[in-house]
Structure 1
Amino acid sequence: MTESIREEHPEAGIVGGAREERLQQGSIAENVQVVEFLLGKEHFAIDLFDVREVVEYTTITKLPNTPSYIRGIIDLRGEITTIIDLKEQMNIRADIEVKDDDSRIIVLDDRITRSKIGIMVDDVSSVSTFSLAQVDKTAIAETSADAHIIGIIKKKTKIKEKDITELIIWIDIRHLLGTINHTA
């Protein structure tokens, strides 16, 4: 099963500078669209404009002499795509292990990665739109260890008639990939 992000969200074709330019011109309301996913028990998000598609797990061919966070490569419709285990890269240890077969692969837009790259996550929960007012950028200490975190999205939800605020860690996948020295 392949879920095309661009079909459901036509603005997803706008990446990088084009999106930022439209934001500056005010043609996009002060909203952010993200793909929400799980790594362990924690909720994360990346910019929708950095995503090409979401695919189900497929057999990954391991590559020799690569860092542990590089799971290997897959053949995605005739294109060799490097798969990065985001949980391993970000040192996230889960209380419950998710079987690879239950994982998802978020294929990144190759215009930002300059190569075919997918990130392996435990599950993809949704594509969501948030107001920039829901993003807390002050909660993140500006250190090199967390420079890939853009901010914390405060998502209001209702569980059993009780309002709760779910915290989603919004990461800058471009910055995170820039720190990865991958050989594939």
Structure 2
Amino acid sequence: MSAQSTTTGQVLEFKLGEETYCVSIGYVTEIVDVGELTQVPNAPAHVEGVMDLRGRTTSIVDPKTVFGIRDDSDGQRIIVFDPDIVQDQGAAGWLVDEVYQVVQVTPDQIDQSPANDSGSIRGVVKRDDEFVIWVDPAMVHSAQ
């Protein structure tokens, strides 16, 4: 599927390290501050721990580990995803440095990703003088 045929719509932009990323807003259920995380023994390297969000045990994933981003800053916010996207893994959230805004993207703003082996990158959104990497959390979690 080419990025030009990707359905457009609203995306939530967030910061990981020095780069800006985005996900389709339809995947997001809420954004919360980082709270107390409980470490899980023998968890995969990308799982920072779990936390209780409204009575539901939610796995907190560090997308920097998943995407190979080398950055020592601590995540400040958690983007919580619709549990349906992580299939059998239950509720999940991503630990991100900062959440920016929800923006509308159009087909002419989207270029195909130069490297998309796993399918987790939907494309690159061109905006002003910067690029925003559009990731698909459903594909990221299915590859883990």
Structure 1 length-normalised TM: 0.70
Q: 1:121 aligns with which of 84, 96, 106?
A: 96
Residues 13 and 22, structure 2, Cα contact 8 Å, conserved in 1: yes
Give the RMSD, CA atoms, in angstroms. 1.7
Where relative contact order (Cα < 8 A, 6+ residues apart) is larger, the structure is 2
- For residues 69-108 of structure 1, the aligned pairs below 5 Å read 69-94=46-71, 97-100=72-75, 103-108=76-81
Identical aligned pairs, as a percentage? Answer: 34
Q: Any gaps of 5 or more consecutive residues in structure 1?
A: 1-29, 157-164
Alpha-carbon distance in 2 for matches of 1:141, 1:104: 27
Give 1:113 shift. 1.9
- For residues 170-181 of structure 1, the aligned pairs below 5 Å read 170-180=134-144
Structure 2 length-normalised TM: 0.88
Q: Show the counterpart of 1:148.
A: 120
**SS of aligned partner of 1:129:** strand
Looking at secondary structure, tell me which structure has more helix per residue: 1
Alpha-carbon distance in 1 for matches of 2:51, 2:120: 26
Residues 51 and 58, structure 2, Cα contact 8 Å, conserved in 1: yes
Q: Any gaps of 5 or more consecutive residues in structure 2?
A: 1-6
Pair 70,40 (structure 1): closer, same or farther in 2 beyond 3 Å: same
Count of aligned pairs: 137
Which 4+ stretches in 1 moved above 6 angstroms?
none
Pair 89,31 (structure 1): closer, same or farther in 2 beyond 3 Å: closer
**SS of aligned partner of 2:133:** strand
Q: Show the counterpart of 1:42.
A: 19
Residues 53 and 107, structure 1, Cα contact 8 Å, conserved in 2: yes
**SS of aligned partner of 1:68:** coil
Residues 85 and 137, structure 2, Cα contact 8 Å, conserved in 1: no
Residues 38 and 121, structure 1, Cα contact 8 Å, conserved in 2: yes
Q: 1:67 aligns with which of 29, 44, 48?
A: 44
- For residues 16-35 of structure 1, the aligned pairs below 5 Å read 31-35=8-12
Give 1:147 shift. 2.6
